[in-house]
C-alpha cells in the first residue's frame, strides 16, 4: 500500500507554505529510504573542481606563504573556536581538553585542521576524496613528533561512502571550507548528519552566497591578493546561511549559532564579525 503525504515546510526567515510530496510505504523504514538515497544519488565530488583536476598544486599546501596562505591564516581563528565549542571543560590544558572526543574532519585536505584538533587530545579521523591530499596529510603528520601518540587517521573516502559504514559514530563533525566544492549539497549535508552521534555537534565554515563574497573571495583573493589558487572558487556553488540552515533542519538538526568571518589583507588576519557578508561559521546539534 502506498500513500501520498503532503507536508508543509517552514523556511526561515519568512514563513512559506511549500507542498512537498513523498511516497510512504508501511513496509519501508526511514533508514531503508536513506540507504536507498545514498545508493542511487549522484556523488558529491566534482571531478572538475580545481583540487581534483589539478593535484600538482596540492604539493604547496603546507607552505605558509604559498597559494594556500589564507587557509593557514584562517586556522588561527577557526581552531580556537572549535576547541572552545567542542570541549566539555574549556579550562583544561590544551593537550588534553578534547580527550575522549571522536571528531571527523570532512574534506581534511592536507590535514591542517586535523592535526590541530589532535594536538588538543581528540581522536581525529580525516577523510578526503583526493589521494594526493591524503598522502600529503599522512606524510606531514608522521613527521611531527608532537603527534607521535595521537596522529590523526586519514582515509581516502567521500562522506557518502563513509557514513554508510560509520553511522552515528562521531561526537563532532567539521566540514570547513568544503561544501562550496561539492556537488549534491543536500546529499552532502545528510551524509554529514548520518555519521554524527545523536546529540553530537556539526560545524560548517563556508563563503556566503553574496555578491560581496563573489567579488572579494574570487576577484580579490585569487586575482589581486593572490592568497588563494586561481579558479579555486565558483560562485554558483556558494551556499547561503539560510540555505544551509534549512538543509540541516530537514535532517533533524538544530542550528545553535552562526557567526561571520572577515579577512583583513593589510594585517593578513581573519576575525570573527557580526556581518556574514563574506563568510560564516555555523554550529548545529543533531537531535537525540
Q: Would the pLDDT of 276 be above 50? A: yes
Q: Which residue reads 529510504 in cell numbers? A: 33
Q: Which residue has the higher pLDDT, 230 or 261?
A: 261
Model pTM greater than 0.85? Answer: no
pLDDT tens string 59-84: 788 999 888 889 999 999 999 999 99
- Which range is least confidently modeled, 2-11, 81-90, 155-164, 200-209? 2-11
Percent of all residues in the chain with a pLDDT value above 90, rounded to a whole number: 66
Task: Give the pLDDT confidence score for residue 256 in this predicted structure.
Answer: 97
As a whole number of angstroms, the distance between CA 48 and CA 26 comes to 41
pLDDT exceeds 60 at position 115: yes
Question: Would the pLDDT of 25 be above 60?
Answer: no
- Mean pLDDT lowest for which of 40-49, 82-91, 100-109, 217-226? 40-49
CA–centroid distance for 261 within its chain: 15
Instruction: Mark residue 2 as left, alpha or beta (left: phi above 0; alpha: psi -120 to 50; beta: remaining).
Output: beta
pLDDT score at 37: 45
Rounded CA separation 191/168 (Å)? 11
Under the banding of pLDDT at 50, 70 and 90, the label for residue 47 is low
Q: How do 253-264 and 196-207 pair as beta strands?
A: unpaired
Residue 243 has pLDDT above 90, yes or no: yes
Which 8-state DSSP code applies to residue 17? -
* CA 54 – CA 43 distance, rounded (Å): 19
Contacts of 127 (CB under 8 A, 6+ apart): 104, 105, 106, 107, 108, 154, 155, 156, 157, 158, 159, 162
User: Residue 68's pLDDT is what?
Assistant: 86
Task: Identify the pLDDT of residue 60.
Answer: 86
Average pLDDT, the chain: 84
Mean pLDDT score, 56-60: 75
Which set of grid coordinates corresponds to residue 79?
A: 581552531
pLDDT at 50: 58
pLDDT of residue 43: 67
Cβ neighbors of 3 (< 8 A, separation 6 or more) are 23, 24, 25
The CATH number of 45-286, from 3.90.550.10, 3.40.50.150, 3.40.50.300, 3.40.50.970, is 3.40.50.150
pLDDT score at 232: 84
Domain boundaries, the chain: 45-286
Amino acid at each position: 500500500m502506498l500513500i501520498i503525504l503532503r507536508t508543509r515546510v517552514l523556511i526561515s526567515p519568512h514563513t512559506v507554505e511549500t507542498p512537498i510530496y513523498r511516497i510512504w510505504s508501511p513496509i519501508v523504514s526511514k533508514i531503508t529510504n536513506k540507504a536507498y538515497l545514498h545508493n542511487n544519488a549522484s556523488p558529491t565530488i566534482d571531478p572538475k573542481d580545481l583540487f581534483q583536476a589539478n593535484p600538482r598544486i596540492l604539493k604547496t599546501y603546507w607552505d605558509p606563504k604559498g597559494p594556500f596562505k589564507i587557509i593557514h591564516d584562517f586556522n588561527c581563528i577557526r581552531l580556537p573556536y572549535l576547541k572552545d565549542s567542542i570541549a566539555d571543560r574549556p579550562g583544561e590544558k590544551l593537550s588534553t581538553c578534547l580527550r575522549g572526543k571522536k571528531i571527523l574532519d570532512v574534506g581534511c585536505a592536507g590535514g591542517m585542521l586535523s592535526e590541530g584538533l589532535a594536538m588538543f587530545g581528540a581522536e581525529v579521523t580525516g577523510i578526503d576524496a583526493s589521494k594526493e591530499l591524503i598522502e600529503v596529510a599522512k606524510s606531514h603528520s608522521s613527521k611531527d613528533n608532537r603527534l607521535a601518540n595521537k596522529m590523526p587517521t586519514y582515509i581516502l573516502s567521500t562522506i557518502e561512502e563513509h557514513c554508510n559504514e560509520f553511522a552515528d559514530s562521531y561526537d563532532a563533525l567539521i566540514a570547513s571550507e568544503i561544501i562550496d566544492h561539492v556537488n549534491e549539497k543536500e546529499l552532502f549535508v545528510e551524509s554529514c548528519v548520518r555519521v554524527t552521534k545523536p546529540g553530537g555537534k556539526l560545524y560548517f565554515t563556508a563563503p556566503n552566497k553574496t555578491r560581496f563574497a563573489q567579488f572579494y573571495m574570487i576577484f580579490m583573493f585569487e586575482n589581486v591578493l593572490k592568497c588563494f589558487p586561481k579558479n579555486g572558487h565558483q560562485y554558483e556553488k556558494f551556499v547561503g546561511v539560510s540555505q544551509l540552515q534549512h538543509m540541516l533542519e530537514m535532517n533533524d538538526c538544530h542550528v545553535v549559532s552562526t557567526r561571520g568571518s572577515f579577512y583583513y589583507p593589510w594585517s593578513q588576519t581573519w576575525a570573527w564579525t557580526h556581518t556574514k557578508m563574506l563568510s560564516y561559521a555555523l554550529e548545529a546539534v543533531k537531535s537525540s
